[in-house]
A = this chain, B = another copy of it.
Amino acid sequence: MTSIYIAEDQEMLNSALSAILDLEDDFQIIGSATDGQRALQQIVALKPDIAVLDIEMPQMTGLEIAKQLRDIEQNLKLIILTTFARKEYFEAAVNTNVNAYLLKDSPTDKLVKTIHQVLAGETIFDPVLVSTILSAAKNPLTNQELKILKEFSVGKSTQEIADTIFLSYGTVRNYISSILSKTGTHSRIEALNIAKKNNWI
């Protein structure tokens, strides 16, 4: 019998998955939470065989939970279950040595199958995810440019950005000009829309 813990902040999906997995003869749901902090505490306390973790949750993300658990629980198998194929998430997950990374855009059968495969020692990455990552428009922005993009995404003015990252006013404007040129746009809002669409921020 395999014990499973579910961390998923959308109550409907959380309860639905709990019910479905619990129906499997060899699975037993021993707990679930809709926020990250509680999930981490309970997983440490209950020591399940498998933890299914959503990434975006209140309090603490599934990736943070995975990272902390990796250090203290060697046997625990970690499965990340999330909505979007974001490169940053994926890389973080790979670096944390999670056992599987699945998209919510898969049917529940797939989750069940994945759990079985993980128990058998396999590591599973959703193929849709992998191809999305590989085909995604590569972010052409430098670190500095990305930092500045994030600054003006919250509405800061050039001067405010210059003050927060300790660059001159003119330099910040040069970077912004470069961002606009690389994104093929002529205004901050357009550049932001491009960046969001391509998951650069």
Binding site for B on A (CB under 8 A): 10-17, 19-20, 23, 81, 83, 104-109, 111, 152-155, 157, 185-190, 192-193
Contacts of A105 in B (CB 8 A): 10-12
Find out whether the CB atom of B16 lies under 8 angstroms from the CB atom of A20: yes
Contacts of A154 in B (CB 8 A): 189-190, 193
Which residue from chain B places its CB closest to the CB of A14 in the assembled complex?
Answer: B107
Contacts of A17 in B (CB 8 A): 12, 16
16 A-B pairs (CB sep. < 8 Å)? A10-B104, A11-B105, A11-B107, A12-B13, A12-B81, A12-B111, A13-B104, A16-B17, A16-B20, A152-B189, A153-B189, A154-B189, A155-B189, A155-B193, A157-B186, A189-B189
Contacts of A106 in B (CB 8 A): 11-12
* Alpha-carbon distance A152/B193, docked complex (angstroms): 11
Find out whether the CB atom of A108 lies under 8 angstroms from the CB atom of B10: no
Which residue from chain B places its CB closest to the CB of A193 in the assembled complex?
Answer: B155
Find out whether the CB atom of A104 lies under 8 angstroms from the CB atom of B155: no
* Alpha-carbon distance A87/B17, docked complex (angstroms): 29
Which residue from chain B places its CB closest to the CB of A34 in the assembled complex?
Answer: B105
Contacts of A193 in B (CB 8 A): 154-155
Q: A19-B20, A20-B19 are in contact. Are A12 and B190 (CB under 8 A)?
A: no
User: Closest CB-CB distance, A17 to chain B, in whole Å?
Assistant: 6
Contacts of A109 in B (CB 8 A): 15
Task: Name the residue in A15, A16, A20, A185 with the highest tally of chain B Cβ atoms < 10 Å from its Cβ.
Answer: A16
User: Closest CB-CB distance, A187 to chain B, in whole Å?
Assistant: 6
